[in-house]
């Protein structure tokens, strides 16, 4: 049986500046890349270029996936305490983009979400309620989406975050209680210090989407898979074993590669995609 896991990359229009999408993609497609993931955040740099780039990606024959806005000023805080309308107005046009693509392409598309975060100090109870109610609204309002709730990173100075431990993410998924909700396993976020977390079957069975990136010795994450810190091979094998259907997205931050030559970046990307593709084939 061939695997139904595809290999993706979180794209930003910056990556194709000074070149074309086709030229940028050529060596990466050869290495196994077949999906691009887009943030849905109208406050991000070059936002006006995102939708044209989605069109171009589809025209090039690749698939697409989405990451819902999570940076300020976007927030889920207050959804159940007076800000419901405001928050829905903020997210509705952004999520509609993903919904429209799902309808147009005739199959449900994944959208990754982070649970609510708030400046410390803040009680976790209301954050849980905001996250659950908001995602229930998303499920009901956008029936063509697949909601992937991501395990958050730990690095949270002066921030209260939900859904860092797998158990907490699973509890949120259970509370949302909708067949369109699963988990985005961010493998890089599971590396805290030197010991990776234990991976339970309950977790693996709920995964519908993956983010993978490497972590350096200072705990800085979102590098290509060149540091050997994240046991992604072993973890992807677990997903393959349960016939996970979905996309494994190499999720990078461009600033981690500042000072690298274009050649070095391209080969680090291609090697990362080839390494993922080999594991999920």
Which spans of this chain sit near Zn ion (rule: CB under 5 A)? 186, 211, 251
CB of 148 to Zn ion, least distance (A): 10
- Residue (186 or 190) nearer to Zn ion, CB: 186
- Residue (109 or 211) nearer to Zn ion, CB: 211
CB of 251 to Zn ion, least distance (A): 5
Angle, alpha carbons 31-34-39 (nearest 5°): 120
Q: How far apart are CA 203 and CA 197, in angstroms?
A: 12
Q: How far apart are CA 6 and CA 18, in angstroms?
A: 28
CB of 150 to Zn ion, least distance (A): 5
Unique residue bearing structure tokens 């705990």: 219
- Residue (80 or 182) nearer to Zn ion, CB: 182
CB of 9 to Zn ion, least distance (A): 12
- Residue (80 or 207) nearer to Zn ion, CB: 207
In the complex, residue closest to Zn ion by CB? 211
CB of 211 to Zn ion, least distance (A): 3
- Residue (31 or 149) nearer to Zn ion, CB: 149
Q: What is the DSSP string of the chain?
A: ----EEEEEE--GGGGTTS-HHHHHHHHHHTTEEEEEEEE-TTSTTGGGHHHHHHHHHHTT-EEEEEE--STT---TTTTTT-HHHHHHHHHHHHHHHHHHHHHHTS-EEEEEPPPEEESS--HHHHHHHHHHHHHHHHHH-TTEEEEEEPPPS--TTEEES--SHHHHHHHHHHH--TTEEEEEESGGGEETTEEPP--HHHHHHEEEEEE-B--TTS---B-S-S--S-HHHHHHHHHHTT--EEEEE---GGGGTT--HHHHHHHHHHHHHHHHHHH-
CB of 259 to Zn ion, least distance (A): 24
- Residue (80 or 115) nearer to Zn ion, CB: 115
CB of 98 to Zn ion, least distance (A): 17
- Residue (39 or 251) nearer to Zn ion, CB: 251
């Amino acid at each position: 049986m061939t695997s139904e896991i595809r290999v993706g990359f979180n794209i930003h229009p910056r990556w194709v500046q000074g070149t074309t999408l086709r030229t940028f993609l050529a060596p990466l497609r050869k290495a196994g890349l077949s999906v691009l993931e887009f943030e849905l955040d109208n406050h991000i740099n070059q936002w006006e270029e995102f939708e044209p780039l989605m069109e171009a990606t589809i025209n090039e024959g690749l698939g697409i996936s989405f990451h819902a806005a999570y940076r300020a000023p976007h927030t889920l805080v207050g959804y159940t305490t007076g800000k419901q309308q405001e928050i829905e107005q903020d997210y509705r046009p952004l999520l509609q983009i993903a919904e429209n693509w799902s309808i147009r392409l005739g199959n449900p598309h994944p959208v990754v979400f982070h649970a609510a975060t708030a400046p410390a100090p803040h009680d976790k109870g209301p954050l849980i309620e905001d996250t659950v109610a908001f995602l229930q609204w998303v499920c009901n309002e956008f029936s063509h989406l697949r909601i992937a709730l991501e395990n958050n990173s730990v690095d949270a100075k002066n921030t209260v975050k939900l859904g860092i431990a797998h158990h907490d993410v699973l509890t949120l998924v259970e509370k949302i209680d909708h067949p369109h909700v699963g988990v985005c396993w961010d493998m890089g976020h599971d590396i805290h210090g030197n010991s990776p977390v234990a991976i339970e079957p309950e977790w693996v069975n709920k995964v519908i989407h993956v983010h993978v990136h490497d972590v350096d010795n200072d705990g800085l994450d979102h590098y290509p898979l060149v540091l050997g810190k994240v046991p992604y091979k072993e973890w992807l094998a677990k997903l393959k074993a349960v016939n996970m259907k979905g996309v494994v997205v190499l999720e990078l931050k461009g600033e981690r590669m500042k000072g690298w030559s274009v050649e070095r970046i391209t080969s680090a990307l291609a090697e990362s995609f080839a390494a993922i593709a080999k594991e999920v084939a």
